[in-house]
Chains A and B, each alone.
Chain A
Amino acid sequence: MRKYGKFAALIALVIGALLWLASSGVNQTKTYYKTIAEVGQMGDRAFDQRVRVAGDVESGSIKRSEGQVRFTLVQDKLHLQVAYTGRDPLPDTFRDGAQALADGRMGHDGVFHASQIQAKCASKYEAKPSQLRAAPALPVNKTS
């Protein structure tokens, strides 16, 4: 049985190392998903936790200035000011009305400082009928 002991030891070593990497990694890199309302409720914890907030980009709110981009996220009528200071280019899908995810930390100035922005390809959401640039047309289900 000694050789099975060796196998067991090696396998345990590999899995152990992996578990250690995974669990210690979680604490260092985790990002909380929060709604805008929940960010408000987090209190002081919001200042030292990495948070990911989702919302729609308010139309006309995108302001680009030297070194940063400011905009407002809207979700369920709650607004959140976001300042993006990251160096990566904003995705092409980021524009008025797009669904965006902002990763970052809440600042003491009440502005959310994002280091990363993801925007959902709006066209991958099925277009709503009203978005068809034509006479108002409603899809009806002919098939089933």
Chain B
Amino acid sequence: MENVASLAVLLAFCVAIYALLASLIGRLKHKPFLVVSGERAVYSVWVLISIGSGILVYALVTGDFRFSYVAEHSNRAMPLLYKVAAWWGGQEGSLLFWSWLLSTYSAVVVFTNRRKHRDMMPYVVSVLMFVQTFFLLLNNFVSGPFKMLAVEGSITAVQDGNGLNPLLQYPAMAIHPPMLYLGYVGFAVPFAFAIASLITRQPGDAWIHTTRRWTLVTWLFQSTGIMLGAAWAYHVLGWGGYWGWDPVENASLLPWLSGTAFLHSVMMQEKKGMMKVWNMALVSVTFFLCIFGTSLTRTGLVNSVHAFAQGPLGKYFVSFLAITIAATVYLILDRLDYLKSEAELESVVSRESSFLFNNLILLASCFAVLWGTLFPVISELSIFGGEKISLDKEWFDRLMIPLGLFLLLLTGLGPLFAWRRTSFESLRRNFQWPGIASLVLIGVLVAAGVRNYYALIAFGFCLFVALTVLMEFYKGAHAIGAKTHMNLLRATVELTHRNTRRYGGYLVHMGIVLMFIGFTGAAFNQKDVKELNIGDTFQLGHYSLKALDLQNGDTPVYSWNRAVIQVSRGGDVLGTLEPEKRFYKASRQGTSEVGVRPRLNEDLYLNFGGMSDDGQRAIIQAYIFPLVSWIWLGGLVLIGGTLVCLIPSKVKLQYARTEVVGIARNYAEVPK
């Protein structure tokens, strides 16, 4: 069986090379049959990798401990979900998973475009298969998942495996990697279309229209993956942090930031024919960051708590990135003539300008995060002092909080600026009430004793943006309601359905606002650590915590200790929380199962830190995290909004490009 799997993946490697060459030669020599065989080869690659992956998953699920990978990442006692999740729980398996996802995406692309874009498709296939070949190279010759355990040349099985890392044995974590990978891998497709468009010297935006939905889905996966990762960290790591600017977290954020910039700046190209070079560059940068992110966890370039083993993968990734970056830069420079802008910027207070600044901030954040992540490597270079220095959470917070707040403000301003230029009258109409309301809110908060400047600004901006978004919905829905006599709710749905892209986008912005409210809550966190005997009580904020019982027990997978803590406030008993410490037997590693009382205004979060040295008292770490639920809520709204964007609009909108610059310039004032 292992031989079949190895052979399938090896064949996939050969077929991927064939698909790459056949498409390329077929296109250049105008041999349609070669092009078609190249496309069919893409399907075969998918089938072959699926066979290899299927066998690996089968081995994981049935516990075939002759496989070294199975022995390291699975064990008999694990639930089925985690046995399957072990596919992406380790280095070799996760790379195979990457390959499999890419081949799936490639097959879908070939299938959905089987009658479209005939001139571009061979190049799209070539680019995708080039990436595929690289990953299959790793699967076959560098980090093979089908190594067997053997003693003196004969294959043997071990009794039981190590099991999946217990920290990963958590539902959100089991699906977090696939989500992130779906996002990482997905950006290969817009990238491939962009490159194909460059090679074939397409004058128009065909690649953008074709991949818009694709990009959005990919972005959705990435957002969901990041949110799941944050939720996992919050619930599993035991200190209530959802984001610590760890290199691996940053690696997932980087392509998200540049991808977000890309999603916004393509609108400039679609509607105004501007920023064409920029979009090419952005989609390429996003793809490179995806590859970079994949490599960061695997090459030991920077120290991280989450990283996989360090291996010999680094030089492969570096070479791959160097080749693709060089080729892309050459292509863009060579084809600059085809990427001329059709309009130019007219006013600082305009939609164009807000997109420009949105991109500037997102890319600046992206660069800042990249710089901070790589600083231990950069600082070792002699021009920066030659000493290895790391930058931690404080440094990132210092930079990212102002950047985030500025971005938040733009979220409110940008969509309401008119294209080309905005009159003072329209600014006043749109922003007067939200502006006043947020100033009032800040005033009230100051009066209530809040002195944290960032928190004040953040709450003010959140209200401002939320109100501008709500007003947009209300204005539109009110107009429809008045015309068609619908009630406001139905009119809102109708409004959204008429232009899903715009109103879905507003919903995403609303999600971002909710998340910022949650982030801001962190300014008011409280915590305390106490050692408690049964019957002891202590006070945190307005909660009174009493240790009712200390229990322990045993399951086949882990043994556990648990504290039963009664929570009361002002004399009223609110219930009990049962934080738990688990010790996983197979991997001999502990984990924490925290007790959380989630409420909209604040979470009460208890972690069982273990027993004190004399074994009598339980160490309880108690935290209050104000507003943290809003982050998850915002995440859900963001996902919902993105899904709305994906629904086709009821009214097919035709965006007429505005006139060419020469004519537009003659207007002193844009006629209303």
- From B125-133, B139-147, B184-192, B492-500, give the one contacting chain A: B139-147
Write the residues of chain B forming the contact surface with A, with a CB cutoff of 8 angstroms.
Answer: 2-3, 6, 9-10, 68, 71-72, 90-91, 140-141, 144, 146-151, 153, 155-156, 158-160, 162, 165-167, 237-239, 303, 305-309, 345-348, 353, 356-357, 360-361, 364, 368, 371, 375-376, 387-392, 394-395, 398-399, 402-403, 406, 527, 529, 587, 589-592, 607, 609, 612-613, 619, 621
Write the residues of chain A forming the contact surface with B, with a CB cutoff of 8 angstroms.
Answer: 3-4, 6-7, 10-11, 14-15, 17-18, 21-22, 25-26, 28-34, 52, 54, 64-65, 87-89, 91-93, 95, 101, 103, 118-127, 129, 131-144
Inter-subunit contact A89/B160 (CB<8 Å): no
Contact for A14 among B9, B364, B394, CB less than 8 A: B364
**B580 to chain A: closest CB distance in Å?**
12
Return chain A residues, CB-CB under 8 Å to B309: 124-126
Q: Please measure, in the bound complex, the distance between the C-alpha atom of A32 and the C-alpha atom of B509, giving whole angstroms.
A: 39
Contact for A3 among B345, B394, B591, CB less than 8 A: B345
Q: Please measure, in the bound complex, the distance between the C-alpha atom of A77 and the C-alpha atom of B364, giving whole angstroms.
A: 44
Q: Please measure, in the bound complex, the distance between the C-alpha atom of A52 and the C-alpha atom of B389, giving whole angstroms.
A: 9
Return chain B residues, CB-CB under 8 Å to A103: 392
Contact for B147 among A7, A89, A118, A142, CB less than 8 A: A142
Inter-subunit contact A22/B239 (CB<8 Å): no
Contact for A29 among B2, B10, B360, B394, CB less than 8 A: B394
Q: A14-B360, A134-B159 are in contact. Are A139 and B149 (CB under 8 A)?
A: yes
Return chain A residues, CB-CB under 8 Å to B402: 17, 21
**B586 to chain A: closest CB distance in Å?**
9
Q: Please measure, in the bound complex, the distance between the C-alpha atom of A34 and the C-alpha atom of B390, giving whole angstroms.
A: 11
Inter-subunit contact A3/B391 (CB<8 Å): no
Return chain B residues, CB-CB under 8 Å to A3: 345-348
Inter-subunit contact B306/A124 (CB<8 Å): yes
Q: Name 16 A/B residue pairs within 8 A (Cβ), A-sorted.
A: A10-B357, A25-B399, A26-B389, A30-B395, A32-B388, A33-B303, A33-B387, A33-B390, A65-B613, A89-B239, A89-B607, A92-B591, A131-B162, A139-B68, A140-B153, A142-B3
Complex A-B, nearest 10 residue pairs according to Cβ-Cβ distance, in ascending order: A134-B158, A33-B388, A143-B6, A29-B394, A139-B68, A137-B149, A29-B395, A92-B590, A25-B398, A126-B309
Inter-subunit contact B392/A22 (CB<8 Å): no
Instruction: Considering the complex, give the chain B residue whose CB is closest to the CB of A65.
Output: B613
Q: Please measure, in the bound complex, the distance between the C-alpha atom of A22 and the C-alpha atom of B72, giving whole angstroms.
A: 42
Contact for B305 among A32, A64, A118, A135, CB less than 8 A: A118
Q: Please measure, in the bound complex, the distance between the C-alpha atom of A102 and the C-alpha atom of B399, giving whole angstroms.
A: 24
Inter-subunit contact A32/B609 (CB<8 Å): no
Instruction: Considering the complex, give the chain B residue whose CB is closest to the CB of A89.
Output: B609
Inter-subunit contact A31/B237 (CB<8 Å): no
Q: Is chain B's interface secondary structure helix, strand, loop, or mixed overall? A: mixed
Inter-subunit contact A143/B150 (CB<8 Å): no
Inter-subunit contact A15/B158 (CB<8 Å): no
**B173 to chain A: closest CB distance in Å?**
12
Q: A121-B306, A124-B306, A124-B307 are in contact. Are A140 and B148 (CB under 8 A)?
A: yes
Inter-subunit contact B165/A132 (CB<8 Å): no
Q: Could you list 8 further interchain pairs (A-B, Cβ under 8 angstroms) beyond the known A18-B399, A31-B391, A127-B71?
A: A10-B348, A87-B529, A89-B239, A89-B529, A124-B309, A137-B150, A138-B151, A144-B140
**B145 to chain A: closest CB distance in Å?**
9
Q: Please measure, in the bound complex, the distance between the C-alpha atom of A65 and the C-alpha atom of B79, giving whole angstroms.
A: 38
Contact for B589 among A14, A93, A144, CB less than 8 A: A93
Instruction: Considering the complex, give the chain A residue whose CB is closest to the CB of B237.
Output: A91
Q: Please measure, in the bound complex, the distance between the C-alpha atom of A11 and the C-alpha atom of B359, giving whole angstroms.
A: 11
Inter-subunit contact B389/A143 (CB<8 Å): no
**A32 to chain B: closest CB distance in Å?**
6
Instruction: Considering the complex, give the chain B residue whose CB is closest to the CB of A136.
Output: B151
Q: A33-B376, A124-B165 are in contact. Are A135 and B158 (CB under 8 A)?
A: yes
Inter-subunit contact A52/B395 (CB<8 Å): no
Inter-subunit contact B147/A14 (CB<8 Å): no
Inter-subunit contact B345/A137 (CB<8 Å): no
Instruction: Considering the complex, give the chain B residue whose CB is closest to the CB of A98.
Output: B589
Inter-subunit contact B613/A29 (CB<8 Å): no
Q: A124-B308, A126-B309, A137-B151 are in contact. Are A143 and B144 (CB under 8 A)?
A: yes
Inter-subunit contact B390/A31 (CB<8 Å): yes
Q: A14-B361, A131-B162, A142-B148 are in contact. Are A33 and B389 (CB under 8 A)?
A: yes
Return chain B residues, CB-CB under 8 Å to A88: 239, 621
Return chain B residues, CB-CB under 8 Å to A18: 364, 368, 399, 403
**B369 to chain A: closest CB distance in Å?**
11
Inter-subunit contact B399/A22 (CB<8 Å): yes
Inter-subunit contact B403/A144 (CB<8 Å): no
Contact for B159 among A29, A87, A125, A133, CB less than 8 A: A133
Return chain A residues, CB-CB under 8 Å to B613: 64-65
Return chain B residues, CB-CB under 8 Å to A139: 68, 147-150
Inter-subunit contact B156/A30 (CB<8 Å): no
Q: Please measure, in the bound complex, the distance between the C-alpha atom of A143 and the C-alpha atom of B394, giving whole angstroms.
A: 47
